Every structure is written in structure tokens, then in C-alpha cells.
């Protein structure tokens, strides 16, 4: 039960003697009580100092209890109100509750009946105050996140521009030197230049990846019904054309239509299938399977391969930006693709996870929800 200590009550009744008696009774219960005989005085008191609860008589000359409660809630929307009424006006008291009163009590008063009503009302007041504080924190957090995102976006663009300028100089001159047919450079020096050019290209790719990650947070979702089977077939064809010499057995299971952003969903399958083709490079025969299972009421999509796999205990690292589980001399990449996939899935209200065994392949699972989430809420 809510403690009466420090709780401020505003009691309004045009019958002064009855109002004073109620004030005295509730003061004896530990409440801080302020009494008024008409609505105007009560509103003036409410504007001077905050109260937790308004206890107002329903039938008063001038401003009745309903009108007083409406005006009081304009002053303090978190205030809880209780209407006092006689037996003959219970229907009107119910009407008062429909306009904002939390409860009503009957005259003549019995302390045993009043105290439980006060306790319930004050608990509601506590919840309103806590909810208001929480909503304020959410708004402040959203504002801070918006400011941070703008600053991060500006920083990313600035870094991208500032890095590309000297990087392009390095790439240009190293390519020029390597391509010179009559260059006096030794073979070792030419190899050094090739390494410089290769590292500069890798850095350029990292900058592009950084920009793609930044862009995901700003891009609005364009949800529509997507023919997933057709989308996957197109992606498979594109990935196969990138290395036409390879033979990869691709099995596409039955895929349902789904509500999603088609361009972003395409990026999910581009990244997952590119990884599957890459990590089956040493598998004979190389096999990739795309499908969908129904788990309860949830559709779970998957991309499975029989490639190099990885240690499942380190699976969470896969979705961190610029994190890789294989050495660069084994498989190329910058460690951004799966981070992009995770962000796209999360923006669609879904989740993603992976299962694998070293040397026996990997399987990536993800779900999609019809309800997208606010990008600012995404990890």
C-alpha cells in the first residue's frame, strides 16, 4: 500500500464544515492536506504548488466537480481525481469518471471506505509519474540518438572524403609506375609497388564498406510483397557469373512471398550467397542450398553450404563489423558483409544466427517480420 508520508491532497467542498472535518481526518492519517471551498481557489492552489490527488465534491455552485477536474488536469495532467457525491447522484459520478476522475466516494464518509480509494488513486499517480519520467527519458534518448547519428554521418562522410583524396594519389601513382614498360625498377621494387597498390585498393574497399554501413541507418524501408524465389534465382545467377569457371551445385527450395524492402533483401542474399560461394572454393563438389522452414508460426530462411565452416563458439563475432574468422591469405574479404546482413534483418524486425562445424560447412538462418523497427532502436 502507498505510504501517506509526503503525499499532498487537495480537498474541495462548498460545505466548509464537512471539508474541514475531512481535512482533519486525513491529516491524522499522515497526509498533507489543503482544503478549499470552491473551484477557483483550488485551481489557484494547484498552480502555486503541486498536489498528488484532487478530492472534489460533485455538486458545487459555480464550478462543479467535473468542470474543476477538467481544468485541474490542464494544470497537471498527472494529477489523479476522485469525486465525492451523495447516493442520489451516482450516475453523474460515473459520468465524471468518464471525463477523467479515477473513482468516486459516497457521502456521508466512512474512513474505512475512503482509505482504500485513496490508496488505489495514489498508486495510479505513482504509475503516471513513473511513466511520464520514462517517456521523457525515451524522448531525450531519441533526441540524443538523432544528434549522434547526424554527427556520425557527418564524421563518416568527412573521413571518407579525407581518406580518399590521398588514397587516390597513392593508387594513381603506384598504378602508373607498375604499368610503365620501360621502368628502371627492379623486380623486387615492382613487387613492392604491386603490394602498395593492392593495400590501397583494400583500403578503398574498406571505405566503401564503411559508407554502406552508415547508409543503412538512414535508408527508409520501402516495404512491398517480394517474390523471394525469383529474387534468389537472379542473385544466384549474378554470383555464378562472377566466376563462370567454377561448378557449384545450387539447390533452391520452395520460397514464399514475403513483405520486405526488395533492394535490401536482395543485398542479404547477395552477401550470404557470395560468402557461400567463396567458402566452398576448396570443396569438391561445392554445394549451396537456399530454403525456408516453418518453425511454429515463424518462417525461418536459410543459406547452407558445405564449405570451410567455422568454430560455432565464435559465431557471435561474425556479425561484428570488420571481424573475420579466417585469415586474409585463406579467403579475401573485409568483414563487413555479415554486419550489413544483420542490420538489414534487424531493420525488418527479424533476427539472424549461424551454425557451423569447421571443415563441414555453415548455415545462416534469419527471420523477417512484417513490422519494421525504428533504425535508431537497432543495435
> Domain check: are 204 and 278 in the same one?
no
Domain that holds residue 171: 146-216
| pLDDT grade for 228, boundaries at 50, 70 and 90 | very high
Q: Are 305 and 328 in contact (CB under 8 A)?
A: no
pTM greater than 0.85? no
> Domain check: are 231 and 250 in the same one?
yes
User: Closest Cα to residue 289, out of 256, 252, 248?
Assistant: 252
Domain count, the chain: 3
> Domain check: are 196 and 230 in the same one?
no
Q: Which is higher by pLDDT, 155 or 242?
A: 242
Contacts of 104 by beta carbon, 8 Å cutoff, 6+ apart: 58, 82, 83, 84, 85, 90, 93, 94, 96, 97
Whole-number Cα distances in Å, 113 to 69, 109, 118, 119: 22, 7, 9, 11
Q: What span, in angstroms and rounded, lies between the C-alpha atoms of 6 and 126?
A: 13
What is the C-alpha R_g of the chain?
A: 34
Work out the number of other CB atoms within 10 angstroms of the CB of residue 252: 14
DSSP state of 180: -
> Domain check: are 177 and 232 in the same one?
no
Give a yes or no: residue 349 inside a domain.
Answer: yes
Q: What span, in angstroms and rounded, lies between the C-alpha atoms of 2 and 30?
A: 12
Last residue of one domain, picked from the residues 109, 127, 160? 109
Tens digit of pLDDT for each residue in 326-368? 444 454 555 677 888 888 898 888 999 988 888 888 899 999 9
pLDDT of residue 231: 94
Q: Are 290 and 251 in contact (CB under 8 A)?
A: yes
φ, ψ of residue 91 in degrees (nearest 5) = -60, -40
Q: Lowest-pLDDT range, 26-40, 128-142, 322-336?
A: 322-336
| pLDDT grade for 12, boundaries at 50, 70 and 90 | very high
Give a yes or no: residue 115 inside a domain.
Answer: no
pLDDT of residue 378: 41
> Domain check: are 362 and 341 in the same one?
yes
> Domain check: are 304 and 360 in the same one?
yes
Q: Are 313 and 305 in contact (CB under 8 A)?
A: no
Q: What span, in angstroms and rounded, lies between the C-alpha atoms of 97 and 101?
A: 4
pLDDT of residue 209: 66
What is the distance of C-alpha 200 from the center of its chain?
36
Last residue of one domain, picked from the residues 186, 216, 246? 216
Q: Which is higher by pLDDT, 331 or 104?
A: 104
Is residue 301 pLDDT above 90, yes or no? yes
pLDDT of residue 233: 93
Give a yes or no: residue 82 inside a domain.
Answer: yes
Is the bond preceding residue 218 a cis peptide, omega within 30 degrees?
no
Query: Which 3 state secondary structure label does DSSP give 52?
Result: coil
Give a yes or no: residue 141 inside a domain.
Answer: no
Q: Which is higher by pLDDT, 109 or 268?
A: 268
> Domain check: are 285 and 357 in the same one?
yes
**Looking at residue 333, which CATH number applies to its domain?**
3.30.565.10
> Domain check: are 80 and 199 in the same one?
no
Amino acid at each position: 500500500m502507498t505510504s501517506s508520508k509526503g503525499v499532498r491532497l487537495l480537498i474541495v467542498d462548498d460545505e466548509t464544515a464537512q471539508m474541514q472535518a475531512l481535512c482533519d481526518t486525513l491529516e491524522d492519517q499522515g497526509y498533507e492536506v489543503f482544503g478549499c471551498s470552491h473551484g477557483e481557489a483550488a485551481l489557484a492552489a494547484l498552480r502555486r504548488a503541486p498536489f498528488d490527488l484532487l478530492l472534489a465534491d460533485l455538486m458545487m455552485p459555480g464550478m462543479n466537480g467535473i468542470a474543476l477536474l477538467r481544468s485541474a488536469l490542464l494544470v497537471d495532467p498527472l494529477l489523479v481525481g476522485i469525486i465525492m457525491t451523495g447516493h442520489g447522484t451516482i450516475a453523474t459520478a460515473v459520468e465524471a469518471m468518464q471525463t477523467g476522475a479515477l473513482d468516486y466516494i459516497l457521502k456521508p464518509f466512512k474512513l474505512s471506505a475512503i482509505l482504500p480509494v485513496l490508496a488505489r488513486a495514489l498508486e495510479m499517480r505513482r504509475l503516471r509519474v513513473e511513466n511520464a519520467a520514462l517517456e521523457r527519458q525515451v524522448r531525450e534518448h531519441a533526441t540524443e540518438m538523432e544528434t549522434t547519428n547526424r554527427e556520425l554521418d557527418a564524421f563518416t562522410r568527412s573521413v571518407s572524403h579525407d581518406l580518399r583524396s590521398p588514397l587516390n594519389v597513392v593508387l594513381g601513382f603506384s598504378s602508373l609506375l607498375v604499368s610503365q614498360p620501360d621502368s628502371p625498377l627492379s623486380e623486387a621494387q615492382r613487387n613492392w609497388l604491386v603490394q602498395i597498390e593492392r593495400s590501397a585498393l583494400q583500403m578503398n574497399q574498406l571505405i566503401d564498406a564503411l559508407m554502406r554501413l552508415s547508409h543503412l541507418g538512414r535508408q527508409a524501408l520501402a516495404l512491398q510483397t517480394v517474390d523471394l524465389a525469383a529474387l534468389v534465382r537472379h542473385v544466384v545467377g549474378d554470383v555464378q557469373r562472377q566466376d563462370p569457371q567454377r561448378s557449384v551445385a545450387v539447390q533452391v527450395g520452395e520460397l514464399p512471398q514475403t513483405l520486405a524492402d526488395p533492394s535490401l533483401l536482395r543485398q542479404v542474399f547477395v552477401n550470404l550467397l557470395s560468402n557461400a560461394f567463396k567458402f566452398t572454393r576448396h570443396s569438391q563438389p561445392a554445394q549451396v542450398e537456399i530454403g525456408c522452414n516453418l518453425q511454429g508460426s515463424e518462417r525461418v530462411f536459410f543459406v547452407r553450404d558445405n564449405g570451410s565452416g567455422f568454430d560455432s563458439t565464435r559465431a557471435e563475432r561474425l556479425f561484428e563489423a570488420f571481424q573475420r574468422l579466417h585469415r586474409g591469405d585463406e579467403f579475401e574479404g573485409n568483414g563487413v558483409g555479415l554486419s550489413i546482413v544483420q542490420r538489414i534483418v534487424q531493420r525488418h524486425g527479424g533476427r539472424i544466427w549461424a551454425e557451423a562445424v569447421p571443415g563441414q560447412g555453415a548455415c545462416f538462418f534469419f527471420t523477417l517480420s512484417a513490422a519494421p523497427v525504428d533504425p535508431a532502436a537497432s543495435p
